[in-house]
Amino acid sequence: MNRFALPLGLFALLVVVLAISIRHSPNKGTIVSPLLGRAAPGFALPSLTDAQHAVRSQDLKGRWYLLNVWGTWCVECRAEHSMLVEVGHSGVIPIIGLDWKDEDDHALEWLAQLGNPYQAIGVDHDGRTAIDWGVYGAPETFLVNPQGIVVYKLVGPLTRESWTQEFLPRLPPRASAGL
Amino acid sequence: MCRSWLLMALMIATLSIRSAYGIDATSIADPALEARYLELTHELRCMQCQNESIADSPVGLASDLRREVRNMLLAGKTDDEVRDYMVSRYGEFILFRPRFSARNAWLWLAPPLFLLIGLGVAVRVVRQRAALAATDPEVPDDDGRS
């Protein structure tokens, strides 16, 4: 009996360790952003739709906003676009677009066809800002609070589920009443 | 015979050229900086493909990250500053060689610990056997006498 106690104990320990690891493993290989709970990286980008004004992070201080990373080359972005339009039109929260490594005329055509949910769109031709934000695949959507802190990051298309389960509960009740 | 050797030599030669200049066509004039650049880009993970380094990957993000590494090195940043920047953006996952931290300490320490435990068990077993052999009259010693 005694000679089995140690191996059995070790086996039980292994089971516990593996169970914890499986439980905490991120689903589908999504990488948790180190930006969560930290200040959102600053940016100043030319606007896609307004040649006069730049899109700047400092102009967004003091309010909630979504930063949505997209590109016309991105298939999943097309899938999420109708949901973005719905959120944008609800007026719950402004959506700032980050047009990532894209052609301006393609992007403008895309918006004309599918609708423009964005309050402003910054153009990131060389991908410099995307790297600052730790973007590794479009679409990605960041939720930033009035203090400029990244509260949540969604990797993959915005769906009704992720909107109601992940974004709305993190917003103050007054803002989230709309949708 | 001679032909096939030649062919093989050629193939090996092209292989080595490929690994050096396959995807990344750029180079830095300063050889020391170039060496650091190659080393760093080989130890940073391509986040889109995950099992390739940014030096080996043809995807757009990897080339953007290579450009970033190059610019930081040219700006006089140290290797650790480059690594810190990447980790602060993409997390520890971007490093193929994870760093020692409180969270993964047990991963680093477990192998030597297990080795010590194993050594301890082995020593104990050998000693017990030796003691047993010395006291057991049934076991014949080396001369064959009991």
Best B51, B61, B71, B94 member to test A by mutation, with max A CBs in 10 Å, is B61
User: Considering the domain boundaries, does residue A112 fall inside one?
Assistant: yes
Number of domains in chain A: 1
CATH number at residue A68: 3.40.30.10
User: Considering the domain boundaries, does residue A14 fall inside one?
Assistant: no
| pLDDT attached to residue A28 | 54
Tell me the pLDDT tens digit for each residue of A155-175: 999 999 999 999 999 998 865
User: Considering the domain boundaries, does residue A170 fall inside one?
Assistant: yes
Which chain B positions have a beta carbon within 8 Å of A126's beta carbon?
A: 64, 67
A-B contacts (CB, under 8 Å)? 41
Residues 76-135 of B with CB under 8 A from A: 87-93
Q: Using CA atoms, how far apart are residues B61 and B46, in angstroms rounded to an integer? A: 8
What's the whole-model pTM score?
0.76
pLDDT of A41 > 90? The answer is yes
User: Considering the domain boundaries, does residue A16 fall inside one?
Assistant: no
Which chain A positions have a beta carbon within 8 Å of B65's beta carbon?
A: 131
Q: How far is B15 from chain A (nearest CA, A)?
A: 30
Residues 120-179 of A with CB under 8 A from B: 126-128, 130-134, 136-137
Q: Using CA atoms, how far apart are residues A116 and A93, in angstroms rounded to an integer? A: 14
Best A20, A30, A31, A128 member to test B by mutation, with max B CBs in 10 Å, is A31
Q: How far is A174 from chain B (nearest CA, A)?
A: 32
User: Considering the domain boundaries, does residue A5 fall inside one?
Assistant: no
B5 by DSSP, 3-state: which? helix
Instruction: Let me know the angle formed at the C-alpha of A19 by B120 and B92, rounded to the nearest 5 degrees.
Output: 85
User: Considering the domain boundaries, does residue A1 fall inside one?
Assistant: no
Q: Using CA atoms, how far apart are residues A95 and A119, in angstroms rounded to an integer? A: 6
Tell me the pLDDT tens digit for each residue of A57-74: 999 999 999 999 999 999
pLDDT of A88 > 80? The answer is yes
* pLDDT averages per 10-residue partition of chain B, 146 residues: 66 55 72 92 88 89 93 95 95 87 84 95 94 73 54
**Could you tell me the residue range of the domain that residue A74 belongs to?**
37-176
Sheet holding A65-70, edge to edge: A120-124, A95-100, A65-70, A140-144, A150-155
| pLDDT attached to residue B146 | 47
User: Considering the domain boundaries, does residue A163 fall inside one?
Assistant: yes
Using an 8 Å Cβ cutoff, are B57 and B46 in contact? yes
User: Considering the domain boundaries, does residue A21 fall inside one?
Assistant: no
Q: Which residue of A131, A133, A134 is in closest CB contact with B64?
A: A131
